[in-house]
Amino acid sequence: MNQYIETEKQYYMGTVRRQPVVIERGQGSRVWDTDGKEYLDFTAGWAVDCLGHCPPVMVQAIAEQASTLIQTSNQFYTLPQLKLVQILVENSALDKVFLCNSGAEANEGAIKLARKYGRENRNGAVEIITALDSFHGRTLGSLAATGNPHYQANFQPLMTGFVHVPYGDIEAIRKATNQNTCAVMLEPVQGEGGVNVPPADYLQEVRAWCDQEGLLLILDEIQTGIGRLGTLFGYEQFGVEPDVMTLAKAMGGGVPIGAFMCKDSCDVLRPGDHGSTYGGNALTAAAAYAVVKEVIDGGWVDHGRVMGERLKAGLERVKAAHEDSVKEVRGMGLLLAVEFHEAIAGEVVTSCNAGGLLLNPVRPTAVRFMPALNVSDAEVDIAVDRFERALVDAVERVSKG
Ligand X SMILES: *Cc1c(COP(=O)(O)O)cnc(C)c1O
Q: How far is the CB of 359 from ligand X (least distance, A)?
A: 16
Distance of CA 346 to the CA centre of its chain: 21
Q: Which residue is nearest to ligand X (CB)?
A: 103
256 φ, ψ (degrees, to nearest 5): -75, 105
Other CB atoms within 10 A of residue 231 CB = 20
By beta-carbon proximity to ligand X, the closer residue of 215 and 245 is: 245
By beta-carbon proximity to ligand X, the closer residue of 260 and 388 is: 260
Buried-state track 93-102, b at ≥16 Cβ within 10 A, e below 16? ebebbbbbbb
Q: 49: alpha, beta or left, given left = phi > 0 and alpha = psi -120 to 50?
A: beta
By beta-carbon proximity to ligand X, the closer residue of 26 and 225 is: 225
Q: How far is the CB of 399 from ligand X (least distance, A)?
A: 34
First to last CA, the chain: 27
Q: How far is the CB of 223 from ligand X (least distance, A)?
A: 3
By beta-carbon proximity to ligand X, the closer residue of 51 and 395 is: 51
Q: How far is the CB of 191 from ligand X (least distance, A)?
A: 4
By beta-carbon proximity to ligand X, the closer residue of 223 and 281 is: 223
By beta-carbon proximity to ligand X, the closer residue of 32 and 46 is: 46
The answer to whether residues 246 and 107 touch, using CB atoms and an 8 Å cutoff, is: yes
Q: Comparing C-alpha atoms, which of 366, 363, 353 is closest to residue 41?
A: 353
Q: How, if at all, do strands 38-41 and 30-33 pair?
A: antiparallel
The answer to whether residues 183 and 220 touch, using CB atoms and an 8 Å cutoff, is: no
By beta-carbon proximity to ligand X, the closer residue of 135 and 387 is: 135
Q: Residue 161: what residue type?
A: G
**Alpha carbons within 13 A on the beta-carbon side of 300:** 27
Q: Comparing C-alpha atoms, which of 16, 276, 281 is closest to residue 138?
A: 16
Q: How far is the CB of 190 from ligand X (least distance, A)?
A: 8
By beta-carbon proximity to ligand X, the closer residue of 125 and 358 is: 358
Q: How far is the CB of 395 from ligand X (least distance, A)?
A: 29
By beta-carbon proximity to ligand X, the closer residue of 103 and 253 is: 103
| Interface ranges with ligand X (CB under 6 A) | 102-104, 107, 135-137, 187, 191-192, 220, 222-223, 248-249
Q: At what angle do helices 282-297 and 56-66 cross, to 10 degrees?
A: 150
Q: How far is the CB of 375 from ligand X (least distance, A)?
A: 19
Kindly tell me the sign of the dihedral angle through the C-alpha atoms of 371, 375, 377, 381. Answer: negative
Indicate the SS3 state at residue 98: strand
- Report DSSP letters for 239-296, one per residue: T---SEEEE-GGGGBTB--EEEEE-GGG----TTS---SSTT-HHHHHHHHHHHHHHH
Q: How far is the CB of 69 from ligand X (least distance, A)?
A: 24
Q: How far is the CB of 12 from ligand X (least distance, A)?
A: 17
Indicate the SS3 state at residue 181: strand
Indicate the SS3 state at residue 336: strand
By beta-carbon proximity to ligand X, the closer residue of 325 and 360 is: 360
Q: How far is the CB of 376 from ligand X (least distance, A)?
A: 25
